[in-house]
Structure 1
Amino acid sequence: MDNQLTDKDISIQRWILIGLAVLLTVILVVFGVHQFRYSDPYVKSVLSRQGDVDQGRFIFQMNCSSCHGIYGDGQVGPSLRHVSSRKSSLGLIHQVTSGETPPMPQFQPSPQEMADLLKYLESL
């Protein structure tokens, strides 16, 4: 048996290494973005606070219920029932504050209001 690598073997190894390098790069970028978001001062402030479900319900009814329904069941906007099982706290903060999902408007609650809203959304 000949132990020399063929050009085909070398090409396959090269593609495997390139694939692994790309995969590692993607993982590092995703991790870096995730860490960056958690290091955002607003996010850190929100996540460091204890939310109040009753205050969150009030904030939700004043700002969100016209589209998402009085109990978060959905109307114009989607149902938010069990939303905390589908989105992380970070994802919910981004969703509320970014305005990236039209027709949902950008909403800029204070850190305490956002913590209260997160607590309420967790209760749905």
Structure 2
Amino acid sequence: MKFRSAFFTSLVAVVVSLPSQALTLSSVELSAAQHLGCVLADDALGYLNEDQFNTRFDEAVGDLSDAQVDVIYAKALGYIDGLLFGVSSGDMDIANRRLESFSNSETCAYGAQAVSRTVSL
């Protein structure tokens, strides 16, 4: 019984620690995710052809590892998902207005200089 208890405790510790590791992003990764969210918004609005999308995607993620790019891409999709939260699938006008607003925001000013960001919890 002692083995089961120790195993269960170890398993719980591993499971509990996984989300916090997966959600830990550096300021560089957060900035890249935000930039990539802008790229995804512009693409969804039809502003980018394939070459432009690829170029801007590469600019957003820079020289980050594939594992980091996966996390950044997931976070960028989260920005778009949050932006479109509550919009019914048939209401493209509202979705487009929200995407337009985000795309035109200061956050998405294409070519804007990188800004150092910190996150406090």
User: What is the TM-score normalised by the length of structure 1?
Assistant: 0.34
Larger RCO of the pair (alpha carbons < 8 Å, separation 6+) = 2
Question: How high is the TM-score relative to the length of structure 2?
Answer: 0.34
